[in-house]
């Protein structure tokens, strides 16, 4: 990891002694099969998630400052990175709890269990309502997973995923079968 220069901490006075404020760290998890990089040059900050499932702790102040950079915000809104603390997600506007009268908005986490459930167990009607809520990155992961586990798919799900992603899943399955030699 690179060197991180943190901003000067505020000092508070407690009964005659000076005590440094405790930093609050937030766990951020990678949900993407690949390398994810988040940077903030103003704070000399750079973090790298090398693979799916990696969890790194980030100072909440730096995360909040970095979140208002367009690229960083997209990493979270498109489902590449996930903040494990629900209150922080609400504070940053990624989710809403409905307390202000707005619609409850929650992020959908596509881990291997959820992908397996979508492809193998979930009825096509539920898949049809779920797919519009997914980000483009998540749709790409879903189509890749569906291609790997095509034996568990039915035609309704293939049509739904094909329409949502723009990838002709039937043609991709045929090409995979021809390549493998089935």
Beta-sheet pairing, 45-49 with 55-59: unpaired
- Can you tell me the distance from the alpha carbon of 107 to that of 127, in angstroms, rounded to the nearest whole number? 16
pLDDT tens-digit readout, 88-144: 888 888 877 766 656 656 678 888 889 999 988 899 999 999 998 888 888 888 898
Res 69: pLDDT: 83
- Can you tell me the distance from the alpha carbon of 106 to that of 89, in angstroms, rounded to the nearest whole number? 9
- Can you tell me the distance from the alpha carbon of 149 to that of 144, in angstroms, rounded to the nearest whole number? 9
Res 177: pLDDT: 84
The larger pLDDT score, comparing residue 104 to residue 86, is at: 86
Res 3: pLDDT: 62
> Above 50 in pLDDT, residue 5?
yes
> Above 60 in pLDDT, residue 17?
no
Res 16: pLDDT: 46
pTM of the model: 0.69
Q: Model confidence at 173, in pLDDT bands (50, 70, 90)?
A: confident
pLDDT tens-digit readout, 48-85: 999 988 999 998 888 888 888 888 888 888 888 988 88
Closest CA to 44 of 6, 92, 75: 6
Provide the token pair at 38: 């988040």
Q: What is the SS3 assignment for the chain?
A: CCCCCCCCCCEEEECCEEEECCCCEEEEEECCCCCEEEEEHHHCEEEEECCCCCEEEEEHHHHHHHHCCHHHHHHHHCCCEEECCHHHHHHCCCCECCCCCCCCECCCCCCHHHHHHHHHHCCHHHHHHHHHHCCHHHHHHHHHHHHHCHHHCCHHHHHHHHHHHCCCHHHHHHHHHHHHCC
Res 19: pLDDT: 43
Q: Model confidence at 14, in pLDDT bands (50, 70, 90)?
A: very low
Kindly give the interhelix angle for 155-165 and 136-148, rounded to the nearest 10 degrees.
140
């Amino acid at each position: 990891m690179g060197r991180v220069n943190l901003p000067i901490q505020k000092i508070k006075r407690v009964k005659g002694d000076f005590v440094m404020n405790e930093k609050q760290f937030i766990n951020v998890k990678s949900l993407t099969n690949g390398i994810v990089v988040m940077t903030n040059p103003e704070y000399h900050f750079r973090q790298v998630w090398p693979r799916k499932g990696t969890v790194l702790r980030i100072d909440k102040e730096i995360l909040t400052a970095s979140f208002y950079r367009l690229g960083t915000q997209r990493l979270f809104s498109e489902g590449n990175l996930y903040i494990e603390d629900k209150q922080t997600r609400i504070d940053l506007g990624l989710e809403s709890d409905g307390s202000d009268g707005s619609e409850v908005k929650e992020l959908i986490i596509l881990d291997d269990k959820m992908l397996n459930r979508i492809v193998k167990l979930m009825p096509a009607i539920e898949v049809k309502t779920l797919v519009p809520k997914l980000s483009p990155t998540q749709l790409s992961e879903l189509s890749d997973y569906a291609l790997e586990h095509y034996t568990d798919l039915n035609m309704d799900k293939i049509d739904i995923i094909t329409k949502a992603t723009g990838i002709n899943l039937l043609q991709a399955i045929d090409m995979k079968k021809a390549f493998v030699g089935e």
